[in-house]
Amino acid sequence: MHILHVVGARPNFMKVAPVMDALANRGGVRQTLVHTGQHYDANMSEVFFEQLGIPVPDVNLDVGSGSHAVQTAQIMIRSEEVLLRQKPDLVLVYGDVNSTVASALVCAKLQIPVGHVEAGLRSFDRTMPEEINRLLTDQVVDLLFTPSEDGDANLIREGVSADKIFLVGNVMIDTLARLIGKARDRWPVVADELGLPLGATTSQDYVLVTLHRPSNVDDQASLKRIILALEGISERAQVVFPLHPRTRERIGEMGAASGRDALCLLDPISYLDFVALQSRATAVITDSGGVQEETTYLGVPCLTVRENTERPITVSLGTNTLVGQDMELLTSEVNRALDGEGKRGGIPPLWDGLSAGRIADVIIGGAAPSRGTAASPPVGTQ
Ligand code: UD1
């Protein structure tokens, strides 16, 4: 069986790694890895491949940046050529980025069976580009691997047939569970290498921040409010803030009027360094999806600067609190964590490090559907 994986952006890489591993362990599977090139900087892509042990991509589509339409269209045009040439039996797409929806749509049109890893998540906020990507992807794929029960319920409500849905748990947690020990071992060098004013052995409080959503950083007024709140927090604890390229650009545009000098601003950091920082943080402030999940697994209080989340289980069961744009609430929640009273939580069912194995069982066990014989190319899993 020939399985082709499509990845493109940073959050995809932690998801593909365990699935490729699990499939390789089953034997009898040929795997091809396609990188769309949506993320192309070494510190947004290459370093993740190295640390996660992902093979060098067989194909790089080199699409780079662009408007949503340009980026999505380029991925479609370039991935179609590759899919026609490679003729895989099954394609797997990951998460909710432009690479996910673009390649899923191409597969559907070519009648190549396609599975979505991390299906069913919904924020119910269609102003988020990722929500559009999630909705469209789940309508055209054949296999839907969900991380939690809310995903199954969303899909059933949207009319997806139950026999295509598989509750497998969270593959991102597979990677975290595998590498948390290694990340923690790096701690003494992480603080030093990153030039953080934190002791290598002391348990000094610090707050880790990651923000890149257009709704937070593209709007100057909103970004300014957030930076001012972070500056206030930095009077009590060190604020460590690795910057996504988009955020760095926007902060640069703000000029000298912001309080950013009080913050410890860094370039994007590697997976292991970021996990090491998360695991020791007193609190994490984020607008990322994956970080809401990782902090829940690690038991670290997470304050999410969004009005909604597609990962509600991190709020109902985990350590996540939605603070929206309410910077007073953000500050008071961080203060609670600094006082040792941050939100505690549990780990959701099936977030046990074994999710990719369940996906491999479904695929190898023969649940992968065939759409029948397409005119071109000949495809099918049987
Ligand atoms: C994308 C995903 C988002 C995910 C995020 C993780 C979509 C719609 N969004 O958002 O869901 O949470 O990745 O990082 O797919 N850039 C670089 N170097 C890079 C990549 C990007 O400098 O390697 C800059 C470019 O200026 C680019 C901007 O970052 O225009 C945004 O990149 P893009 O891939 O369009 O979206 P993200 O904001 O990264």
Q: Are residues 110 and 217 in the same domain?
A: no
pLDDT, one tens digit per residue, over 48-70 is 999 999 999 999 999 999 999 99
Q: Are residues 23 and 157 in the same domain?
A: yes
Residue 367's pLDDT band (boundaries 50, 70, 90)? low
277: burial class by Cβ within 10 Å (0-12, 13-18, 19+)? buried
Choose one of 7, 35, 94, 97 to mutate for the ligand 1 pocket test, by most ligand atoms within 8 angstroms of C-beta.
Answer: 97
Q: Is it the case that residue 368 has pLDDT exceeding 80?
A: no
Q: Is it the case that residue 305 has pLDDT exceeding 90?
A: yes
171: closest CA among 89, 274, 94? 94
Tokens of 140: 């055209």
Q: Decide: 306 in ligand 1 pocket, CB within 6 A.
A: no
Q: Are residues 85 and 204 in the same domain?
A: no
Phi-psi region of 29 (alpha: psi -120 to 50; beta: other; left: phi over 0): beta
Q: Are residues 156 and 186 in the same domain?
A: no
Q: Decide: 246 in ligand 1 pocket, CB within 6 A.
A: yes
Between the CA of 39 and the centroid of ligand 1 the distance, in Å, is 6
Q: Are residues 94 and 230 in the same domain?
A: no
What is the pLDDT at residue 366?
A: 66
Q: Is it the case that residue 372 has pLDDT exceeding 80?
A: no
Q: Tell me, what amino acid is at 282?
A: T
235 in a structural domain: yes
Task: Assess contact for 196 and 281: CB atoms under 8 A.
Answer: no
Q: Are residues 153 and 241 in the same domain?
A: no
Q: Are residues 21 and 148 in the same domain?
A: yes
Residue 377's pLDDT band (boundaries 50, 70, 90)? very low
95: closest CA among 360, 310, 296, 245? 310
Choose one of 48, 103, 212 to mutate for the ligand 1 pocket test, by most ligand atoms within 8 angstroms of C-beta.
Answer: 212
What interhelical angle do 171-185 and 271-280 show, nearest 10? 80
What is the pLDDT at residue 375?
A: 30
Q: Are residues 228 and 319 in the same domain?
A: yes
**Interatomic CA distance for residues 211 and 218, integer angstroms:** 11
Q: Is it the case that residue 379 has pLDDT exceeding 80?
A: no
280 in a structural domain: yes
Global pTM reads 0.94
Exposure string of 64-79, with b = 16+ CB inside 10 Å and e = fewer, is eeeeeeebbebbbebb
69 in a structural domain: yes
**Interatomic CA distance for residues 302 and 293, integer angstroms:** 9
The residue among 374 and 353 whose pLDDT is bigger is 353
Residue 376's pLDDT band (boundaries 50, 70, 90)? very low
Q: Decide: 98 in ligand 1 pocket, CB within 6 A.
A: yes
Task: Output phi, psi for 284, to 5 deg.
Answer: -125, 135
Q: Tell me, what amino acid is at 10?
A: R
What is the pLDDT at residue 194?
A: 79
345 in a structural domain: no
What is the pLDDT at residue 210?
A: 97
pLDDT, one tens digit per residue, over 162-206 is 999 999 999 999 999 999 999 999 988 888 887 777 665 556 899
pLDDT, averaged across the chain:
92
What is the pLDDT at residue 201?
A: 55
What's the total number of domains in the chain? 2
Mean predicted confidence (pLDDT) in 263-280: 94
What percentage of the chain exceeds 90 in pLDDT?
Answer: 87
Q: Are residues 98 and 159 in the same domain?
A: yes
Task: Assess contact for 131 and 72: CB atoms under 8 A.
Answer: no
376 in a structural domain: no
Q: Decide: 39 in ligand 1 pocket, CB within 6 A.
A: yes
Domain region containing 228: 180-338
Q: What is the CATH number of the domain that holds 321?
A: 3.40.50.2000
Tokens of 120: 């069913």
**Interatomic CA distance for residues 139 and 118, integer angstroms:** 14
362: burial class by Cβ within 10 Å (0-12, 13-18, 19+)? middle
What percentage of the chain exceeds 70 in pLDDT?
Answer: 92
CB atoms closer than 10 angstroms to residue 238: 18
- Alpha-carbon 310 to chain mean position: 12
pLDDT, one tens digit per residue, over 197-251 is 766 555 689 999 999 999 999 999 999 999 999 999 999 999 999 999 999 999 9
Q: Is it the case that residue 373 has pLDDT exceeding 50?
A: no
122: closest CA among 109, 103, 135? 135
Atom of ligand 1 nearest to the CA of 97: 15
What is the pLDDT at residue 189?
A: 85
Q: Are residues 16 and 165 in the same domain?
A: yes
Annotated catalytic residue 35 = no
CB atoms closer than 10 angstroms to residue 35: 27
What is the pLDDT at residue 62?
A: 97
**Interatomic CA distance for residues 341 and 360, integer angstroms:** 41
Q: Are residues 39 and 110 in the same domain?
A: yes
Q: Is it the case that residue 297 has pLDDT exceeding 50?
A: yes
**Interatomic CA distance for residues 115 and 367, integer angstroms:** 11
- Of the CA atoms within 13 Å of residue 207, those in its CB half-sphere come to 31
DSSP 112: -
55 in a structural domain: yes
378 in a structural domain: no
381 in a structural domain: no
Residue 146's pLDDT band (boundaries 50, 70, 90)? very high
**Interatomic CA distance for residues 353 and 359, integer angstroms:** 12
Atom of ligand 1 nearest to the CA of 214: 38
What is the pLDDT at residue 198?
A: 67
Q: Are residues 306 and 225 in the same domain?
A: yes
